[in-house]
Amino acid sequence: MDVLINEAKIQSRIKEIARQIEKEYEGKQLVFLGILKGSLPFLWELAKNIKNDIRFEFIEVSSYEGTESTGKIKINKDLTESITGKDVIIVEDIVDTGRTLTFLKEYLLERKPNSLKIAALLSKPSRRVMEIGVDYIGFQIEDKFVVGFGLDYDQKYRNLPYVGYIE
Ligand code: 5GP
Contacts of 24 (CB under 8 A, 6+ apart): none
Whole-number pLDDT of residue 67: 41
Please give the Cα distance from 23 to 116 (Å, whole number). Answer: 16
Q: Has this prediction a pTM greater than 0.85?
A: yes
Tell me how far the alpha carbon of residue 94 lies from the centroid of ligand 1, in angstroms: 6
Whole-number pLDDT of residue 70: 57
What is the tens place of the pLDDT at every residue in 110-165? 999 999 999 999 999 999 999 999 999 999 999 999 999 999 999 999 999 999 99
What residue ranges define each of the domains in the chain, with the CATH number in brackets?
2-166 (3.40.50.2020)
Q: Which atom of ligand 1 is nearest to the CA of 95?
A: 3
Cα-Cα-Cα-Cα dihedral sign, residues 94, 98, 104, 105: positive
Tell me how far the alpha carbon of residue 43 lies from the centroid of ligand 1, in angstroms: 16
What is the tens place of the pLDDT at every residue in 18-58? 999 999 999 999 999 999 999 999 999 999 999 999 999 99
Tell me how far the alpha carbon of residue 28 lies from the centroid of ligand 1, in angstroms: 31
In angstroms, what CA-CA distances link 58 with 10, 45, 61, 79?
A: 22, 16, 10, 6
Whole-number pLDDT of residue 63: 81
Residues with C-beta less than 6 Å from any ligand 1 atom: 38, 92-100, 145-147, 151-153
Report the catalytic residues: 96
> 151, 94 in Cβ contact below 8 A?
yes
Give the residue-averaged pLDDT of 54-77: 81
| Backbone phi and psi for residue 146, each to the nearest 5 degrees, phi listed first | -110, 155
Residues in a beta bridge with 140: 123
Helices (H), 77-164: 99-109
